[in-house]
Chain A
Amino acid sequence: MKDNIRILYGVVIGVLVLEIVLFYFFTQHFS
């Protein structure tokens, strides 16, 4: 359980970073 939650912390931060990168390219692509 301890590790599952730690994995989830990593997933949340990883997804945020991925979103920021994707949004950056989205902004560039459509500007």
Chain B
Amino acid sequence: MSSLDWIVLIVTLLSVIAFGIYKSKTEKSLDGYFKGNNTMSWWLILLSIMGTQASAITFLSAPGQAYTDGMRFVQYYFGLPLAMVVLCITFVPMFHKLKIFTAYEFLEQRFDLPTRSLTSILFLIQRGLSTGISIYAPSIILSSLLGWNIYLTNVVLGGLLIIYTVSGGAKAVAYTQMQQLIVVFVGMFLAGYMVVQMLPEGVGFTDALHVAGSVGKLNVIETHIDVTDSAWWKDKYNIWSGVIGGFFLALSYFGTDQSQVGRYLTAKSVRESRMGLLMNGLVKVPMQFLILLIGSLVFVFYMYYNAPVFFNQKQVDKVLASKYESEFRHVQSRNDSLNGLKQAQTHLLVEAIHNEDAQSISEAKSELSALNNQSSEIRGEAITLIGKADNGADTNDTNYIFLYFVLNNLPAGLIGLLIAVIFLASWGSIAAALNSLCSTSIIDLYKRLWRQNEKDLHYYRASKWITVAWGLFCIATAMFASKLGSLIEAVNVLGSLFYGTMLGIFMLAFYMKKIGGRAVFYAALLAEVGIIAIYVADIISFLWLNVIGCLLVMIWAYLLQLFMPKKSNDLVLEGGHSTSNQ
């Protein structure tokens, strides 16, 4: 990185920290610290929800995913807008009516204390570990591509945000997320603009789309269905798993994950919460589409310029220092030759498109597709050699592609800005996670189970220490995180192991009034064991685990309730739905 990049990076990061500290003034109470005294408008809720969901992994992994697998990942977000509508009708008015701090408080009022505690603990395990991964994920990529020390990078990525998260609580988190998202969107827009600008002369945006489409990189919608084929159930991203699985995942994430619930509980009113969530439902799909489109454009860029056979240079260096060096160099030279053929063929395709020559277009497309298949085979050979040279090697370079492109092609200054984008996107989601880990630890465990009758100031001070403790825990998790596949999926898989069960508990609370606390508690335990067993057996794509987990809890609870005396508090739901349309 050049001096200019360092200046841009440091100034951007320091200005966010300074802004966070400036916005840190809160009332010294739990209401001020966790809910910002309910002063937030819908647009701040919207930005906060988006900033919490979009981590660095989103901006690093998604373009890489489009490069390798095309744009079908966007289907995973199709269930989200539907989930926003359901949340606004059911969850949001109930949470506001009860004036709760965490989603799990509601469960004690509806069921009993063990169900509340169990769900809180499931959340703390899941969110604590996945926050560690969201520190580690960008950290390993930055350290690998820039030669930074991984441990120091972990500390900067997971540590600096603790300053304003501890001092300002939910309010500082929301205001910094707003600032962070502005920088993130400006950075990503400039990156997308630059990719198109750097294409050869005479090749425009539409030409680039045709090239990407001809090799299957614009496969936004995949409707192919053959439920008799067991591979279909393992297919991660098609429209059915996207709409159904994505709906359940989004409902779980936004309805039962305190890192999100805590954002919209800071709103001034039910209306502001609903507006924030619904706007999120409107903008999320197009936003994800555009991020993936950048990845497809990067793919087209590398059709014209030499694409490396593998994007993680650290692993390439390792294999070149091993006994497989000559074999790997041979693979690299074949890749270089193929790059030349791809460039020539891509030029022919664009020329045919300009001449509107249907026959030549069709021929060029099939030729280009064949070359691309050969390219994939060569990449496969390179990956095999990397795996042989280093047993513990990360053979998935999806997350390295976008940053490799940025570092090797973008002008000085913009590189610094895009590195800042990675830091800020991380900070936004980690800060919200720490705030929610703290609120759950304090409200659902410490205040409820250990120290029930202390003054508000005591809990406020304890909250600050707990935030620091969770920050340190997440950094420690990042330090221990080892080899993972596509990191964005790792976080989603971890979520899917717990979210289905948590959603099932909330669905029972809202929709099955005859089910009592004890039945729910044991049903949740049984369902969790079932979900982990299904995951270990590897028979279905992780997106379906949310659906199955949710249904398992509901079925088990229904069956158990037949044999158990009912001991629940249903009063809370009386008239609950009448509030839903306020």
Interfacial residues, chain A to chain B (CB-CB below 8 A): 1-2, 5-6, 8-9, 11-13, 15-16, 19-20, 23-24, 26-27, 29-31
Contacts and interface: CB of A to CB of B under 8 A. Distances in A.
A30 B218 contact: yes
Contacts of A31: 213-214, 216, 218-219
10 contacts: A8-B278, A12-B81, A12-B281, A12-B282, A13-B81, A13-B82, A16-B81, A24-B221, A24-B223, A30-B210
Interface string B196-225: 000000000000011011101011110100
Given A15-B81, A20-B78, A30-B210, A1 B278 contact: no
Contacts of A8: 274-275, 278
B88 interface: yes
Given A9-B88, A30-B210, A31-B213, A19 B286 contact: yes
A1 B275 CA distance: 12
Contact of B218 (A9, A12, A13, A26): A26
Nearest to B79: A16
Given A16-B78, A23-B221, A26-B220, A11 B212 contact: no
Interface residues of B, number: 31
Interface of B: 74, 78, 81-82, 84-85, 88-89, 209-210, 212-214, 216, 218-221, 223, 239, 271, 274-275, 278, 281-282, 285-286, 289, 581-582
A31 B219 CA distance: 8
A13 B85 contact: yes
A15 B582 CA distance: 24
A29 to B, nearest CB: 8
Contacts of A29: 213
B210 A9 contact: no
Q: Which 4 A-B pairs have the closest CB atoms?
A: A30-B213, A23-B220, A16-B81, A12-B281
Nearest to B215: A31
Contact of B221 (A1, A2, A13, A27): A27
Given A16-B78, A31-B213, A5 B274 contact: yes
Contacts of A19: 285-286
Contacts of A23: 74, 220-221, 289
A23 B74 CA distance: 10
Contacts of B219: 27, 31
Given A16-B78, A23-B289, A11 B221 contact: no
Contacts of B213: 27, 29-31
Contact of A27 (B89, B220, B275, B278): B220
A16 to B, nearest CB: 4
A20 B239 contact: yes
B130 to A, nearest CB: 27
A21 to B, nearest CB: 9
B88 to A, nearest CB: 7
A12 B46 CA distance: 14
Given A19-B285, A20-B78, A30-B210, A5 B221 contact: no
A11 B283 CA distance: 12
A16 B278 contact: no
Contact of B278 (A9, A20, A30): A9
Nearest to B212: A30
B215 to A, nearest CB: 10
Contacts of B582: 1-2
Nearest to A30: B213
Given A16-B81, A31-B219, 13 more contacts: A8-B274, A11-B282, A12-B278, A12-B281, A12-B282, A15-B81, A20-B221, A23-B74, A24-B221, A30-B209, A30-B214, A31-B213, A31-B218
A1 B271 CA distance: 9
Contacts of B221: 20, 23-24, 27
B209 to A, nearest CB: 5
A5 B273 CA distance: 11
B212 A9 contact: no
Contacts of A2: 581-582
B207 to A, nearest CB: 11
Nearest to B80: A16
Nearest to B74: A23
Contact of A9 (B85, B214, B289): B85
A23 B212 CA distance: 15
B322 to A, nearest CB: 40
Contact of A16 (B212, B214, B275, B285): B285
Contacts of B82: 13, 16
Nearest to A28: B221
A23 B82 CA distance: 18
B220 A12 contact: no
Contacts of A9: 85, 88-89, 278
B286 to A, nearest CB: 7
A27 B218 contact: yes
Nearest to A3: B581
Nearest to B209: A30
Contacts of A15: 81, 282
A5 B216 contact: no
Nearest to A21: B221
A13 B313 CA distance: 44
